[in-house]
Structure 1
């Protein structure tokens, strides 16, 4: 039992390390060759976990081999357009000017119900409102609405605005993030003064505190007893 536990832990960290090396897209929308590699890695990792008679390296070595193969294919895609087409294929236009391309649906084996569902999920209900609907190589559906139906921007309306920034977390579950304080050019004394302004006696009582995208201080207490922007 103890040996199985150790073997499982080792294989778990090997797979996590492999997926991290393969890139963030591995946990998002997978390309076909990436999906194949992910499935094969899961199978290779499960065999040594289920059977202690199989040497651990018989699972680890093939996983590392697949990792190397994925890296090589990714480099080929960066260097060659033909390689991208071979391994990932090309996007397919399913709707053009509000008209469904029936032949493309047949070629991609994409039924009309799935198409209409994806369109509704993206907030569109009428086919004539859509200029293009493109089935990407990852299987996601991209929709480009007709220009006259897009929302006007602040630039279009000549509205003055300031650029939003990424929120920066300062306190999480009572723990102060000193690194993030340094990033925004503040120190712990400044943070404590912000808490005092909001009648918060200690950071240990704060569930979350951050500088939001507008540059304002926001906090919420652990007991949900108060928040401020």
Structure 2
């Protein structure tokens, strides 16, 4: 067999085995790596290159080595799941870099991080003043987690005492102009509903690049033709406006009648509707 053909076959074999072993090792192997996972990834990649190019040795020996590395890595991951000591040994511990707004210089030296590097990492977290940081820790993966001081944290509805409705995963029902039946069925909808919604928006399915339905059944679309502007769904806003109009009408009826029993009935209905509006408003203002 010619050398070039053998190398091509070995490379294809190494690629296939490497793909299978990486799938076995899981998603952590392609995300933030620990020290041992980093070593494992480099070593398995080097062995795969050896299997592809070294024609003087038996190719299966490289596959044996790759398999051993994979088994050892899986064994260590199992130990880490069962033991905190094993996690500390192989992954290391987090290091506090800023505590109560004070930079821990000794810990910076321990991790061999300069002040410039620290500020660079803070800027990546949209923090430009170290004084704004309450707590910062370097994770075993090398990433830096930052907790801002109370006065510098972003304002949320919880800070304002506002209740908001829950948000679930939106379902992509149209992709590249094609209807995705499975996501539609997941949220209990069908093609007839989708056709009706597209007709309301005045667009055809062929012109829709991406279509998503949120947890409240509202359809959002992005078109191939970027010059066309599609109005945003107004169902929730229209429903809230209708409820408020009904409340105002009940109050007006109560003021316009002189019959006490009727006036009292309208007032009670108005108060009941007002209570309902307060309960559903978090779901309708999102």
Point out the structure with the larger helix share.
2
SS at match of 2:77: helix
Farther off after superposition, 70-79 or 124-133: 124-133
SS at match of 1:155: coil
1:114 aligns with 2:117: yes
1:133 aligns with 2:136: yes
For residues 7 and 118 of structure 2, the distance between their equivalents in structure 1, rounded to whole angstroms, comes to 46
Query: What is the correspondence of 1:1-229 to structure 2 with a 5 Å cutoff?
Result: 1-201=4-204, 203-212=205-214, 215-226=217-228, 228=230, 229=232
Point out which structure has higher relative CO (alpha carbons under 8 A, 6+ apart). Answer: 1
Using structure 1 for the length normalisation, give the TM-score: 0.89
How far residue 213 of structure 1 moved from its aligned partner, in angstroms, is 6.2
Deviations 1:83-141 (A, max 9, x none): 11110111001111222211111111111111010011111122222121101000000
Is the Cα–Cα contact under 8 Å of residues 51 and 63 in structure 2 kept in the other structure? no
For residues 200 and 55 of structure 2, the distance between their equivalents in structure 1, rounded to whole angstroms, comes to 61
Is the Cα–Cα contact under 8 Å of residues 97 and 128 in structure 1 kept in the other structure? no
For residues 107 and 192 of structure 1, the distance between their equivalents in structure 2, rounded to whole angstroms, comes to 62
How far residue 167 of structure 1 moved from its aligned partner, in angstroms, is 2.0
Q: Larger radius of gyration, structure 1 or 2?
A: 2
Residue ranges of structure 1 left out of the alignment (5+ in a row): none
How far residue 77 of structure 1 moved from its aligned partner, in angstroms, is 0.8
How far residue 158 of structure 1 moved from its aligned partner, in angstroms, is 2.1
The 3 A distance-change label for structure 1 pair 183 and 156 is same
Is the Cα–Cα contact under 8 Å of residues 132 and 143 in structure 1 kept in the other structure? yes
SS at match of 1:34: helix
SS at match of 2:131: helix
For residues 178 and 59 of structure 2, the distance between their equivalents in structure 1, rounded to whole angstroms, comes to 40
Deviations 1:181-210 (A, max 9, x none): 111111222222222222233x33321111
How far residue 53 of structure 1 moved from its aligned partner, in angstroms, is 4.7
Q: CA RMSD in A?
A: 2.1
How far residue 52 of structure 1 moved from its aligned partner, in angstroms, is 4.5
Farther off after superposition, 103-112 or 58-67: 58-67
Residue ranges of structure 2 left out of the alignment (5+ in a row): 233-286
Using structure 2 for the length normalisation, give the TM-score: 0.73
Farther off after superposition, 174-183 or 130-139: 174-183
Point out the structure with the larger strand share.
1
The 3 A distance-change label for structure 1 pair 22 and 191 is same
The 3 A distance-change label for structure 1 pair 6 and 223 is farther
The 3 A distance-change label for structure 1 pair 186 and 215 is closer
Across the two proteins, how many residue pairs are aligned to each other?
A: 228
